[in-house]
Amino acid sequence: MKYTTPAGDTVIDRQRVVGQPTTRIDGPLKVTGHAPYAYERHDVAANQAYGYIVPSAIAKGRVRSMDLAEAKAQPGVITILTTTEVDELPLGMGHTVPLFGGSEIRFYHQALALVVAETFEQARAAAKLVRVDYERTPGNHDFHALAPDAPLVEGSDGPDVSKVGDFEAAYASAPVTIDVTYETPHESHAMMEPHASIAAWEGEKLTIWTSNQMIAWSKQAVAEMLDLDPANVRLDSPFLGGGFGAKLFVRVDAVVAALAAKKAGRPVKVMLDRPLVFNNTTHRSATIQRLRFGAERDGRLTAISHECTSGNLAGQEGENGVAQTRLLYAGANRYTAQRIARLDLPEANAMRAPGETAGLMALEGAMDELAEKLGMDPVELRIVNDTQVDPETPNRPYSSRMMVECLRRGAEAFGWDMRNTTPGGMREGRWLIGHGMAVGFRNSVQMKSAARVRLSGNGKLTVETDMTDIGTGSYTILAQTAAEMLGLPLEDVTVTLGDSDMPASCGSGGQWGAQNSTSGVYAACVKLREDIAERFAMDPTTAEFADGEIRAGGESCKLTEATASGEIVAEDSVEYDELSQKYQQSTFAGHFVEIAVDAYTGETYVRRMLAACAAGRILNPISARSQVIGAMTMGVGGALTEELAVDTRFGFFVNHDLAGYEVPVHADIPHQEVIFLDELDAIASPMKAKGVGELGLCGVGAAVANALYNATGVRVREYPLTLDKYL
């Protein structure tokens, strides 16, 4: 289906099932431990052997030789795969350096060998006995040392600089200006389930049971890296214990499992232990962000500049902190630029709303500083700078934009007017109390997405697509969509996900999963409805599907009559026409935070959080709320605790486990409230939905920081806001 924005209501607008608060249909499987996660799939292939990775102990250099003799002699050892026995693998999608092969070492904990044994313990014990002779070369591991000389990011259209009007002149003549620099640290996804894969060969055919967000991309990447016909590669990932961007692309577990399974002649399973999740996979790069604003005394921005420097090992992909600044606020004179430092650290890549998360931590802090300088309410400052068009391309309107409504609704529900505007001015006993807010902004992305639906003889429907459920609720919203379209109860719909043998979906990433994968199912269901209507000589455009029946022109027929002679199968995809490309598609939130700071110890407690979100139709208020409160929790981590500490001498992340890398726990998270504004966006998707998952994170860090400033009167511009910085 080529989606063209409809004039009026569609089946989805009935909202009998879609839009209704629905608990996860996969919930019971998960809480009873029956959901099959990658490493636990003991039943998918017989005779599985265990692989354990030998990681590099240096960050840069070369493997001179490897002594395997002692390791090979250990009990249970089947084989050892070494990096020097295979050529450097070509880059797969999303990779900037090879995952495996050759003797060059580019980052600490790069995989150098896989020891395969009968048990996990045997493989691990033997792996410790592999002796590697290294030739070490010095590297650049210190982001702060390299950042000042970092060159501009080179995009496909040249350097990543955007200029509108004359920033310098407008800034020089503005009555009120600020010039501030914010820093965010290197961060890790820290999802619960580590990367894991089981690989098995049947002749030329390779199957990998894994934990991956983007099945179609990753199948293609495996085929390219291992030089296989994509038709001979199958990936299966029905459940994930989180991904957060770390599983958008195939990582080394899948590749060494496949190579070792071939070598061992039997299935091999590999899990990255926690230090390798931190050092061998990807992370979010640190940033240094300079913001300069010029404003009129009434708060209207006349000059906006945002420059962001981040780092990476190779490639041109940095942490795009300026992404939202090009779109969020009006202002005639603008300058934004991205620079990237070459670092001998593990690859940086997408993590938890890449770009906007770190960018808004700086932009929305700077806006708070400007509001204070203007003597203006921070909410009002945002509102006077609203725009309904892309401010860099003024003939490009937003498909829908309810930033102002989010702020007004959020402020009212939060009780923003009771805030003390004097920093450090509110106290309850030993606690300093502060309130802060920030705007949330994240783009909504249209992606092609396909699905197949099968209506069986007993009237039950099966949905098949390679879409993934990374903990987000995909199973449930896809079942809701199909049930709505065919007029069936939710219990009559079965959803199968994550298998590359099924039609290719949009996958899970960039908060594009929900609206595109449901739209793919919508498209397949439209086709199925047409097929059924034709069988009864009914007009598919006016036919109604309800209660297991199709009704038109005063007649009704049971769907089971249509399937009496066998199941009916329909497959289609949603694709978007150029019309929708004429619109900027984004989602908005107002984030509000109340914080308490111990006046004596500096300990920080977030006491209350509220998010008012506008993200098109909310397909399921329960799973959408779960997405947003989970994201708000990540925002607290980003603001207060999360930081990868770099050993700048040896080039690795020191705190490479969940004891040293602190993410918030339940006890850190207070009352959270989420308000969804009524918004239908027919331009964004046939579901009239946009993305929502990452929106819940974007802006939260700044709201926490602004609340901390309001509580203490100390402005910290270096995240995370640990107490040593404001005591």
The strand pairing partners of 311, in sequence order, are 341
DSSP SS3 for 22: coil
Q: Tell me which residue of 166, 351, 322 sits closest to 247, measured CA to CA.
A: 351
Tell me how crowded residue 323 is: count the other CB atoms within 10 A of its CB. 25
The least CB distance from residue 274 to ligand MOS, in Å, is 19
Q: Is 694 a catalytic residue?
A: yes
Element (H, E) at 461: strand 461-464
Query: Where along the sequence are the contacts to ligand MOS (CB under 6 A)?
Result: 213, 243-245, 248, 350-352, 354, 509-510
Nearer to ligand MOS, 514 or 523 (CB): 514
Nearer to ligand MOS, 306 or 352 (CB): 352
Nearer to ligand MOS, 171 or 244 (CB): 244
Shortest-Cβ-distance residue relative to ligand MOS: 245
Angstrom distance (rounded) from CA 455 to CA 487: 12
Element (H, E) at 403: helix 403-414
Two structure tokens written together for 525: 């269901």
Two structure tokens written together for 29: 């499987």
DSSP letters for 239-262: --S--TTTTSS--HHHHHHHHHHH
Two structure tokens written together for 190: 């820290």
Q: How far is CA 350 from CA 187, 189, 281, in A?
A: 11, 9, 11
Spatial neighbors of 575 by CB under 8 A, at least 6 apart, are: 1, 2, 3, 448
Burial class (CB in 10 A: 0-12, 13-18, 19+), 559: buried
Nearer to ligand MOS, 213 or 289 (CB): 213
Q: Is the CA virtual torsion 242, 248, 254, 258 positive or negative?
A: positive
Nearer to ligand MOS, 81 or 514 (CB): 514
Q: Do 700 and 669 touch, CB atoms closer than 8 A?
A: no
**For the CA atoms of the chain, what is the radius of gyration?**
27
| SS3 sequence of 648-694 | CCCCEECCCCCCCCCCCCHHHCCEEEEEECCCCCCCCCCCCECCCCH
- Order across the sheet with 233-236: list the strands: 77-82, 111-117, 49-55, 268-271, 196-202, 205-210, 233-236
Pairing, β 333-342 against β 301-312: parallel
Burial class (CB in 10 A: 0-12, 13-18, 19+), 227: exposed
Nearer to ligand MOS, 411 or 639 (CB): 639
The least CB distance from residue 189 to ligand MOS, in Å, is 8
**What spatial distance separates the first Cα and last Cα of the chain, rounded to whole Å?**
59
The least CB distance from residue 306 to ligand MOS, in Å, is 21
DSSP SS3 for 169: helix
Q: Tell me which residue of 517, 512, 461 sits closest to 484, measured CA to CA.
A: 461
Q: Which of 187, 347, 372, 694 is catalytic?
A: 694
The least CB distance from residue 103 to ligand MOS, in Å, is 32
Nearer to ligand MOS, 48 or 213 (CB): 213
Active site residues: 694
